Amino acid sequence: MDGFVVGGERFGSRLILGTGGAANLDVLERAIKASGTELVTVALRRINAQKASDGLLDVVARTGVRLLPNTAGCRTAVEAVKLAHLAREAFGTAWIKLEVIGDERTLLPDGVELVPAAERLVADGFTVLPYTNDDPILARRLADAGCAAVMPAGSPIGSGLGIGNPHHIRLLRQAVSVPVILDAGVGTASDAALAMELGCDAVLLASAVTRAEDPERMATAMRLAVEAGYLAAHAGRIPRRFHALASTPDEGRPDL
């Protein structure tokens, strides 16, 4: 599996890991390693960016992954833009996973706030990766605003419901030319494989790994599933048929 390019950077792995939800940093570190990821998201508020010895940053440094700060918890464009600037200072990166949440129950993104926030952050020099819904129209607006990728939810964050509307992910994939990263809703390996088969360039997940009973094992599963889905998407799958098609022709069969 050749890597994918987003924001001008090439990544060997098409799996992006969120760092929230892990029982402790040791579990997280092993999950990061097992997943093979090269990019992890991190919330500004969960670490003390001032302290050089902060544990999460140590894990990041040791594993050699790149940091993608997010604006988790923001409810308005203004909040998200402020938090993005704080994160840029704290982490020394202009990459930002832009989240503007519309609702505490669903944690679904608020498209109306998302677009101006994205426009502003692009203008401010950020590499913007917005968490969006599965709406192809909104995705194209975000791509047109200069976002480096679009990251549609498969289903609500932490729900483990997988991809609620595969048809919309396909439509969204057709609507933009920037990378599409499925973000949120993945519960198990087949969900991640399906995301890739639908044409996504990468998968971002957190709870599915960090809250699994065995995070390291699930991280390995997700690494393999993303590779499997990517390969299958590019191997020319057989068409779906209403009836059967024998794999074994009848000729040459012995008389019985």
Q: Is residue 52 part of the contact set for its own copies (CB under 8 A)? A: no
Query: Closest Cα partner for 181 from 231, 123, 226, 114?
Result: 226
Q: DSSP character for 248? A: S
| Residue recorded with tokens 């960090």 | 210
Per-residue string for binding with its own copies, 165-204, x by CB under 8 A?
A: x-xx-xx--xx-----------xxxxxxxx--x-------
What the block records as the tokens of 149 is 């990728």
60, amino acid identity: V
CB of 209: closest distance to its own copies in angstroms? 9
Among 98, 128, 149, 212, binds its own copies (CB under 8 A): 212
Q: Is residue 130 part of the contact set for its own copies (CB under 8 A)? A: no
Q: Is residue 21 part of the contact set for its own copies (CB under 8 A)? A: yes
Q: Indicate the residue among 147 and 192 with the shorter CB distance to its own copies.
A: 192
Q: Indicate the residue among 6 and 209 with the shorter CB distance to its own copies.
A: 209
Cα distances (Å, whole numbers) of residue 220 to 15, 38, 68, 169, 240: 11, 14, 21, 25, 30
Q: Is residue 46 part of the contact set for its own copies (CB under 8 A)? A: yes
Q: Is residue 93 part of the contact set for its own copies (CB under 8 A)? A: no
Is 158 among the annotated ligand-binding positions? yes
- DSSP labels, 54-84: -HHHHHHHHHTPEEEEE-TT--SHHHHHHHH
Name residue 5's beta-bridge partners. Answer: 10
CB of 25: closest distance to its own copies in angstroms? 15
Strand 181-183 relative to strand 95-98: parallel, antiparallel, unpaired?
unpaired
The reply to whether 51 belongs to the active site is no
202, amino acid identity: A
Among 27, 33, 106, 146, binds its own copies (CB under 8 A): 106
What the block records as the tokens of 146 is 């200069």
Q: Indicate the residue among 20 and 179 with the shorter CB distance to its own copies.
A: 20
Give the residue numbers marked as catalytic. Answer: 97
